[in-house]
Structure formats: structure tokens, C-alpha cells
A and B are shown apart, each in its own frame.
Chain A
Amino acid sequence: MAEVPLVVVVVQRGGPSTGLPTKVEQGDLLAVLYGAPGDNPKIVLAPATIEECFHFVVLARRLAESFRGPVMVLTDANLATGVSPFPRPRPEAGWLAPPADQSPWPEGMTPFDWDERTGLSPRPVPGQRGGEYVLTGLAHNRQGKVAYDSTSNQTGCEMRSRKLGALRQTLVPPVVHGDEEGDLLVVGWGSTLGAIEEAVDCLRADGHRVSSLHLRFLSPLEPGLEEIFARFRQVMTVELNYSDRPDAPLVTPTRRRYAQLAILLRQRTLLDVDCWSVVSGQPVPPGVIVAELEKRLAALEGAPENIGELACSA
């Protein structure tokens, strides 16, 4: 609402409540995306390695300033407390925030001069002569004045949402690990990258047609997912958060609570994205993932040709 650049690093730990304070979980994705009153679109990044944690913070700061809003960086206890060597970065001037602009604010320009196409607007910085305005958590118009009329709030929400659309336009589709088509595609995010890719490599060595995909942008989601998913017979996420086991009592395919990224992907792609997730508080060993994927692969015997047909038949 205030449209102030802000970077928040969320180091996820085991929940719910005080839960497993020193253990790992990927349980905050939906809370970060939706845990606030009303609509508040925000950028959510998920670095997958310790090296990415380093560089993503620079990226997050740039995005926060360009898009004038909050950027959440989702890490977890594994990334936060782990140690891993990576090539020594060479500091660049672009890493640093530019000095606060203190030149006079352009005459006649409003503090929320939203571009109709992108929702983007320049931000007056305190100290800029002529840019005086009030940030408020209340609904406001382009002048930054409190406005309770229905049109202003509708416009403000549309403009803030449009910014995510503008960012999505600049993203490129993620790269598939393994073949671009096959029987099973595993989608992950965050610190599970190494375990998932090791499991996939292991199964591929045994001749299975398995690939994986690791998402770094969770809001907005990276483009091209529908096209990638359509080349696989089944798509599933592997996550460290809670989901109902498909064979649990009272659980049916339509009454199952899915893992958090799976929920996002299902709503985004309208495809029957499956999931496997645990809240053990421990990193998942590749061997456990291999065992789970083998079960899914066995179940695919005689299943439809690709996930699109499955969705149509469901």
C-alpha cells in the first residue's frame, strides 16, 4: 500500500506455531504470499543454494527499488546455517544502492504517478523539494490522499497488481534438469535442489524418464510452466511442508490438502500437479526421494500419455 522498497529475508523453520525452531521447513510460502489483509502483491524469490543467497539479496534490493515494493527472499534453516564453497564474488558498483535522489521533484507529478501499463511510478524521497506527500496504510489516490471511494481503491489494487505482471514479462522460462520431456517431472524450490537433482540423476542412470525443475521466482511465477509440464505424463512437487498423503483416511484426490508450491502450480496451470512432502524437520536425503519417485513411476504404468489428458479426464 505504501509502495516503499523493502527486502525481507524469511528464514523458514519448522512450524506450525513455535514448532521446530531450529529445524528446516518450507512452510511459509503461502503465508508470505497471502498472509495479510486484502490483496498485497509482492515479489517472492527463493534462492536454492548458498551462493544464490548471496547474489539474490542484491537482486532483491534492485527489484524492490525498481518495483517500489516489498521483495521477500525465502530461505530456510538449511541455507541459513549451512556452509558451502562458491566462487569468490567480485564486488561491483551495481551491488550498491544509489545515493538518495535529492533533486527537486518534477512539478505536477503525483507521488503515485502509476503508469497504466505497468503500475510503476517514481517515488519521492524525503528531502526532495516539492515531493512532499504522506505515506498511509489507508486506501489512497494518486496524490497520496486518503480516499475511501470505491474507484480509488480499485485503481490502487489494479496498479499494484500490474507491477507483478510487468516483472513477469521480463522473466525467462526455467531450465529443465534432464530431458525436456518424459514420464515424470519433479518441481522443487529452495534448499532441496541438491537432493532432488541427485535423486533424478540416480533414476535417469537406471533408465527412468525423469526430469526436474527448480523455481527461483515464486511470485510472479516464472513463465512457460504450462508448456514444460505438458511434455510430461505426470508432474509433482517435492517440498518440505505439510500435505495429506494420498492414501490417508478421508483423503480423496479432490479432498486432499496439497503441498504449498503444488497449490500454486495447480491454480496457475489448471493441471493435476501431484506432490510429495514431509515435515520431519530434516533435510530429505536423495534416497528417500528416489524411493518415492519409483512408486510414482510404477503407478504411471498404463496411465494417460501426458498430464494434460489426465487433467481432462479428471
Chain B
Amino acid sequence: MFGLKTDWHPDVPQRSFTLESYEGGVARWCPSCGDHGILSAVQRICRDEQIPPEQVVAVSGIGCSGRFPHYMHAYGFHSLHGRALPVACGIKVRRPDLQIWVATGDGDCCSIGAGHWLHAVRYNMDMTVMLLDNSVYGLTKKQTSPTTPVGLATNTHPEGAWLPPLNVVETVLGFTNISFVAKTVDWNPAHMYQTLHAAYCHRGLSFVQILQRCPTYTPHIFDEWRGNPDSIRLLVHEDGVPADPPVAKMYRNHVEHDPSDLDRARQLAADAERIPIGLLYRNPDAPRYEDFTARGLGMPTDEKLAALDRELDRFAI
């Protein structure tokens, strides 16, 4: 039929990926740690988007969040304290083809890595940044972090933390050239999945703060919001994070929020009592640093040499 031989078959290499394709060994976080759910969400997104594992790079700094790359079957870089973002930017500078997931924490990102945080967000390179925020230094056994609530007793402040915690999303919304700022909670996997999926689909740096329970050191700090879903504002909008019916049913306090409205996003973020979850701000047109640094990639050797020659000619006498 149609002149084809009977043994003809299309020579298209078919690869399909399952969750196992992205599993890199048994995760050794504490049982019931919120990080397990975040890992699963990322693995599900990779599976659902059928990203070849060799195209995925998981980058982290130090802390419980730093373990993240070890549990992904993908390329990974478990870097230094606070250095997840510069490492991720360095990868993206010359390898815009790779899909980058950054796992960082409230200590890693907001404390020792705060300088990098500001600039990486402004660079707006295409990657998904997950702030695993358990409000404490967990790996080093309970010291005050920038997001520790007032009064929480820790090893560094045995009588309770003194200062009001850093409002993470409010801070990010004050940075320049932001393009995607969202917030979600680990105890609602459906919302977390939708938020991270929207973050993955966004081109630019997607920053997602994930309130993450630490069963060992901060098991109860989110109890108020967990026990009373009405104290959470679910941000809904056609351009926002899609809310599955069960999510919309659980969080009845819906707030229609246009993610292009930065002023409103800042107002919502500033309310530390009725925390917003969902997409706070999105600007698909913010310039991306890698669009400049990747210029010339793939240029043939003779063109590169000719360009070098022209450059040397400028100094030749």
C-alpha cells in the first residue's frame, strides 16, 4: 500500500517517561517532611511534560532543601550555602536548552544567599525556583531563620525569636524585573502541583514560596492556616494558577486577582495573617538575561575565528 514495504516502520525513536524515570533513590528526609511532597510534585511535572531526564538539572544550596538533587534522577548540582541561584544562572547562561529546577530554603535563599536572590530574580533567567520554607534551620537542628515566627524558641533564641519574620513574597515583589511570583502550601498537593506547573510553563524566573512543614522542629507553626482554611486567600483568575474543584471547595475565601496588577499583589502579600496562595504576579515580557548571554551559541568555528580576527585588528598596528 502506498508503495511502502511491509516491514517498513517509522524510524522515530520513541521514549516515554514514567515517575520512576525521575526517581534517584530513597529520599532521606524525615518521615512526613513536606519536602517529600515537593519532590513528588516536581517528578510528576517532569513526567507529565515528558522532559528527558538528561535535560533536567536540579540545583540546590545547603540545608534540608539541598538534598533535593540527590533524589532526582537527572543532572544535579548540590552546591554551597546560599549559592544555588548563581550556580543555576551559570548553567543557564550557556545552556538555555536545559530545564532548571532550583530547590532552596529560607536560610539558604533569604539569609546567606540573599544577595544572590535579589540579582538572580532580576536576571529573570528561565528556571523554576522553589523556596522550601519551613521557617527554621532544620538540617542544623533548629536555629532561627529569617522566616522564624516571633516567639518560636530555637537554639539561637531559646526564649523565642525576637524579630518579625521576613515576608518572603512581599520582599520579592519589591525586586526589579520580576516575572513570576507565587505562593503555595505543601499540605495541599493539588494546589502545589498546579502552582509549580504554572511556574514550569512560565518563561523566565518563576519564584514559588512553598510553606513546608518540618515535622521535627516546626510541626505546628502552620496549624492556624491548616486548621482554618478560611484564613487563607485563594487567588483566582483566568491568568492565574488554575484551582481544581476540590481546592476551590476547601479554600472558600476566593480573591479574584489579576496577576498583572503589581500594586494589588503587594497589598495581598503584605497581609501576614490572611496569607494568599496562588499567582501573585506575572509579567511574561520581562527581559531574560540568557537571551543576551546565549548569543553566538552554535556559531561555526570559522565565523568565531573571523570575529576574533576582527577584534585583534582593532589593536594591531
A100-B77 Cα distance, complex, nearest whole Å? 18
> Do B91 and A89 touch (CB < 8 A)?
no
Per-residue contact bits, chain A 96-118, to B (CB 8 Å; 1 contact, 0 not):
10011000000000000000000
A134/B69 in contact, CB under 8 A = yes
- Given A132-B54, A132-B73, also A127-B79 (CB < 8 A): no
B191 at interface (Cβ–Cβ under 8 A)?
A: no
Contact (Cβ within 8 A) A134 B312: no
Inter-chain contact B304/A96, CB cutoff 8 Å: yes
Q: Given A127-B97, A129-B54, A137-B78: A85 and B317 within 8 A (CB)?
A: yes
- Contact assessment for A129 and B305 in the assembled complex, using a CB-CB cutoff below 8 Å: no
A134's partner among B53, B54, B78 (CB-CB below 8 A) is B78
Say yes or no: B95 contacts A126, CB within 8 Å.
yes
Using an 8 Å CB-CB cutoff, how does the interface string of A52-89 with B read, 1 for contact, 0 for none?
00000000000000000000000000000000010011
Task: State the main secondary structure of chain B at its contact with A.
Answer: mixed
Q: Residue A133 at the B interface, CB < 8 A?
A: yes
A127: chain B residues within 8 A (beta carbon): 54-55, 75, 95, 97-98
Contact status A138-B317, CB under 8 Å: no
List A contacts of B76 (CB < 8 A). Answer: 132-136
Q: Which residues of A contact B304 (CB under 8 A)?
A: 96
**A138 and B75 within 8 A (CB):** no
Interface residues of B in 74-116 (CB under 8 A from A): 74-80, 91, 95, 97-98
Q: How far is the CA of A2 from the CA of B304 in the complex (A)?
A: 30
Answer whether residue A287 sits at the interface, using C-beta atoms and an 8 A cutoff: no
Residue from the set A85, A92, A126, A134 with the largest chain B CB neighbour count within 10 Å: A134
Beta-carbon contact of B70 and A136 below 8 Å = yes
Question: Does B4 count as interface, using CB distance less than 8 angstroms?
Answer: no
Q: Which chain B residues lie closer than 8 Å to A146 at the CB level?
A: 70
**Can you name the residue of chain A whose Cβ is closest to the Cβ of B25?**
A145
Judge if B64 is at the interface, Cβ distance under 8 Å.
no
Known A-B contacts A85-B317, A93-B301, A146-B70; the reply to A132 vs B53 at CB < 8 A is: yes
Q: How many angstroms between the C-alpha atoms of A91 and B74 in the bound complex?
A: 37
Q: Which of A129, A134, A137 interacts with B52 by CB under 8 Å? A: A129
Q: B74 contacts which chain A residues (CB < 8 A)?
A: 132
Task: Let me know if A134 and B70 touch, CB within 8 A.
Answer: yes
Q: For A135, give the chain B residue with the smallest CB separation.
A: B77
Give chain A nearest CB distance to B94 CB in angstroms: 8
State whether A91 touches B78 (Cβ < 8 A).
no
A130 close to B (CB within 8 Å): yes
Any B CB within 8 A of the CB of A128: yes
A132 CA to B55 CA in the complex, in Å? 9
Verify B78–A136 contact, CB threshold 8 A: yes
Q: Mark B31-60, 1 if CB is under 8 A from A, else 0.
A: 000000000000000000000111101100
Say yes or no: A135-B78 contact (C-beta < 8 A), given A93-B301, A126-B91. yes
Measuring CB to CB, which residues of chain A are less than 8 angstroms from any residue of chain B? 2, 85, 88-93, 95-96, 99-100, 124, 126-138, 145-146
Task: Sample 20 A-B pairs with CB under 8 A, ordered by A number.
Answer: A85-B317, A88-B312, A96-B304, A99-B298, A126-B75, A126-B98, A127-B55, A130-B54, A131-B75, A132-B74, A134-B77, A135-B78, A135-B79, A136-B76, A136-B78, A137-B78, A137-B79, A137-B80, A138-B78, A145-B70
